[in-house]
Amino acid sequence: LEPVVALPSATYALTKHDLPELRVEYERLARLYEKEAIAGRPFKFFHFEIDLDHGPCLAKRFTGCGSGHEYFAVAPNGDLYPCHQFVGRDGYKVGSVTDGIVRTDLVAEFRQTTLLTKEKCRSCFARYFCGGGCHANAELFTGSIHEPYELGCELERMRVEYALYLYHALAGIPANRKE
C-alpha cells in the first residue's frame, strides 16, 4: 500500500491536513501488526519491514532509488526517461532506444543528487531509510529534484517511527529475530 501522490488540485490528493488522521491509522496498523505477530499470525507491510542489521548497502542509503542512472523508463515511442513518473515531463527525456543516452548532463545530475546534496535531508533522522526520497515527487511538488517533497518526508518519518517501534517490540519473538 502506498499513499496517493497527487497535486493539491486533485480531489483525492493528500495534504498536510490529512497527517493527523494518517498518523492515527499508521499507529492502528502498527498495533495490529504487533498483535498479530505476537499471536503467531504475522503479516507483511512493506513500510514496517526494517532491517537494521543487514539493510541496504551504504550507497543505497545515500541515494534512495536509482532513477536516471541505474534504470530508465521506456515510453511507447522509444523515448527514455529517468523513471516511469517522468515520462512526458518537459526537460526530462534523456534519450531514446534508437539514439541511446544523449542527455549525459541529466544522468549525471540524477546520479549526483543524494541526501547529502539536499539541505533539508541533512538533519532528518530518517534520511538513511529513504535516501533523500523520490526525485519524481520532489520535482512535481517543488520544481526540482534537489528539494524533497515535504509531505512525503512527513509520511516517511511517520512510517520509520512505527517500523523502529515494531523492530524493538518484536525483537524477542523468535520468528521476528533478524539473524
pLDDT tens profile 127-149: 999 899 999 999 999 999 999 99
Give me the pLDDT at residue 91, please. 95
Give me the pLDDT at residue 53, please. 81
Give me the pLDDT at residue 54, please. 78
Per residue in 141-178, pLDDT (tens digit) is: 999 999 999 999 999 999 999 999 999 999 987 766 55
Q: Please report, for the chain, the start and end positions of each structural domain, with discontinuous segments joined by +.
A: 2-6+11-49
DSSP string, the chain: -------TTSTT---GGGHHHHHHHHHHHHHHHHHHHHTT-----GGG---TTT-S-HHHHHH-S-BTTTB-EE-TTSEEESSGGGTT-TT---EETTTEE--HHHHHHHHH--TTT-GGGTT-TTHHHHTT--HHHHHHHHSSTTS--HHHHHHHHHHHHHHHHHHHHTTTSGGG---
Higher-pLDDT residue of 28, 61? 28
